[in-house]
Structure 1
Amino acid sequence: MDDSERDEILWRLDERTERMDARVERIDNRVTQQDEVIDDLDQRVTRNTTILAGFTFGLSSLIATALGKLHALFNLK
């Protein structure tokens, strides 16, 4: 193997390494974007769960109050 063949092989390896590095960087960027989306969705789920818990508490309080008033209304003997 002469110097020109070795240089050609090294050049091809260098080109391939650069392509692989670029691909790894693109994949890393996608992973970062996916992590950001997952974090955003997690925050939304937490917020919506809190809102749902508040509505549930309010609705149960309203129903308990209404049932208490109905009970008092029908027990006025």
Structure 2
Amino acid sequence: MAEPKKPDTAAENLSYEAAREELVEVVRRLEQGGSTLEESLALWERGEQLARVCQQWLDGARKKLDAALDPDQ
């Protein structure tokens, strides 16, 4: 089994789409199984980072939408 791909970019610098795409791949690899415990833990940790990045993007979009819908803010 190949080692987990080392990210070229810090998770915080990824666009929503890039973070989500990588997160989908991490989940696919975890579900596939066959990784060592160490590999699985590294994938899990990367998935947690990516999920946080996606949530930050979504929270930011929600904030902008709320501000646009309520001009009194």
* Normalised TM-score (structure 2): 0.49
Taking CA–CA contacts closer than 8 Å with sequence separation of 6 or more, which of the two structures ends up with the larger relative contact order? 2
